[in-house]
């Protein structure tokens, strides 16, 4: 993997560039649609590529390990062939999913014992096994195994958790360096900054993972319920420490406004379930604000979903028709809304790249943050 910065904004820390992988180039800043189980819910791969133009998608180690299992993925030649996707893929290590199983897992120095949410079977995730599983899955970018702390979190627990994440990182790096890719392309490993909402811990974690000198770095443990102001504060202080010549990935973030603000702080990569999950509940993100398509005001609105939209569905279907589908719980409704939202997110980061190159990012960002946060 290679990362080249092409432009920097003069009035913020925003920058744009290109990440080069064996499955293609990724322009940054970039948003990665979440395909947890090897699928972006309700969207076919051909639409992801031709309509939305997603440059990279995300899958999850925990879910792919439980189902279909690594033996299936290895048999077919990895996740790209399994899901018929030729572009880059990133896999989360499963740490966040294990964290979410708080009633069904036990953390120790060795790793995490947990029970499957599918059948209750007992499993052990260790740093080494997280790397081995991600070798079998075969994503282009894989993540180190970490512990994600809840919010709010006691300082002493956050400190112990961060230190455990750092020890696990050493084991992940050793395993990664002592194994080869299972397939005929390269993989890279990203570490994850933790430290909850404590500045001294965040800064310490950023320093520790920077010293591992890996190809890129991630910021985890944010967007778990803390106020936006804290998210921005810790993102900024971490970005000031992380190497400037490597991509920075803010995990699980967020709203369109969150993404724009964090681009200005120097973040390059984002993922979030919000555009897909909220779409299934009738929430549409647009350049003019947020639409709740379930509202009765749209019942007789036969205008296009979004005249400024970039997806094929935006001019093909009306707001009234989409409302009818969502209210009737028709699968097509979820599909149309998801295509719209993902297309908007991809447009948003693409427009950010354009504005950075033109030198007008900050002024544009400040206007857009207000617009995309309004309710239409």
Three-state DSSP at 123 gives strand
Whole-angstrom Cα distance, residue 173 to residue 10? Answer: 36
Which of these is catalytic: 146, 268, 271, 314?
271
List the one residue out of 107, 125, 108 whose CA is nearest residue 116: 125
Three-state DSSP at 13 gives coil
User: Is 92 marked active-site?
Assistant: yes
Whole-angstrom Cα distance, residue 259 to residue 234? Answer: 14
CB atoms under 10 Å from CB of 13, counted, come to 17
Which of these is catalytic: 9, 47, 51, 92?
92
**Reading across the β-sheet that carries 248-250, which strands appear in turn?**
30-32, 269-271, 248-250, 217-219, 192-193
Helices 155-177 and 199-210 pack at an angle, to 10 degrees, of 10
Pairing between β-strand 24-28 and β-strand 15-21 as defined by DSSP bridges: antiparallel
Whole-angstrom Cα distance, residue 49 to residue 94? Answer: 26
Question: For the chain, what percentages of helix, strand and coil (3-state, to nearest 5) are there?
Answer: 45, 20, 35
User: Is 9 marked active-site?
Assistant: no
Q: Give the active site residues.
A: 92, 271
């Amino acid at each position: 993997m290679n990362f080249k910065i092409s432009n920097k904004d003069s009035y913020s820390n925003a920058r744009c560039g290109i990440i080069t992988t064996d499955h293609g180039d990724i322009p940054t800043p970039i948003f990665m649609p979440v395909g947890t189980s090897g699928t972006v819910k309700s969207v076919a791969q051909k639409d992801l590529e031709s309509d939305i133009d997603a440059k990279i998608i995300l899958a999850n180690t925990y879910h792919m390990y439980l189902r279909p299992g690594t033996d299936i993925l290895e048999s077919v030649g990895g996740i790209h062939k399994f899901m018929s996707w030729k572009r880059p893929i990133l896999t989360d290590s499963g740490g966040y999913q294990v964290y979410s199983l708080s009633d069904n897992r036990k953390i120790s120095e060795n790793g995490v014992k947990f029970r499957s949410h599918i059948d209750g079977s007992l499993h052990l995730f260790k740093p080494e096994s997280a790397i081995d599983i991600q070798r079998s899955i075969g994503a282009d970018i894989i993540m180190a195994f970490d512990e994600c702390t809840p919010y709010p979190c006691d300082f002493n627990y956050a400190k112990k958790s961060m230190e455990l994440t750092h020890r696990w990182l050493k084991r992940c790096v050793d395993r990664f360096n002592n194994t080869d890719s299972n397939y005929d392309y390269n993989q890279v490993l990203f570490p994850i900054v933790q430290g909850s909402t404590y500045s001294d811990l965040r800064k310490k974690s950023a320093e520790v993972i920077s010293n591992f000198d890996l190809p890129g770095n991630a910021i985890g443990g944010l967007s778990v319920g803390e106020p936006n102001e804290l998210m921005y504060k810790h993102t900024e202080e971490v970005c000031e420490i992380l190497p400037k010549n490597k991509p920075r990935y803010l995990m699980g973030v967020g709203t369109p406004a969150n993404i724009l603000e964090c681009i200005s702080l120097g973040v390059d990569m984002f993922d979030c379930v919000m555009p897909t999950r909220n779409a299934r509940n009738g929430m549409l993100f647009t350049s003019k604000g947020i639409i709740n398509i379930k509202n009765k005001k749209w019942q007789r609105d036969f205008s296009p979903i979004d005249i400024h939209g970039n997806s094929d569905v935006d001019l093909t279907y009306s707001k009234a028709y989409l409302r009818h589908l969502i209210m009737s719980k028709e699968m097509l409704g979820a599909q149309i809304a998801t295509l719209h939202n993902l297309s908007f997110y991809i447009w948003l980061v693409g427009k950010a790249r354009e504005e950075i190159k033109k030198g007008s990012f900050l002024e544009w960002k400040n206007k857009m943050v207000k617009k995309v946060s309004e309710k239409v």
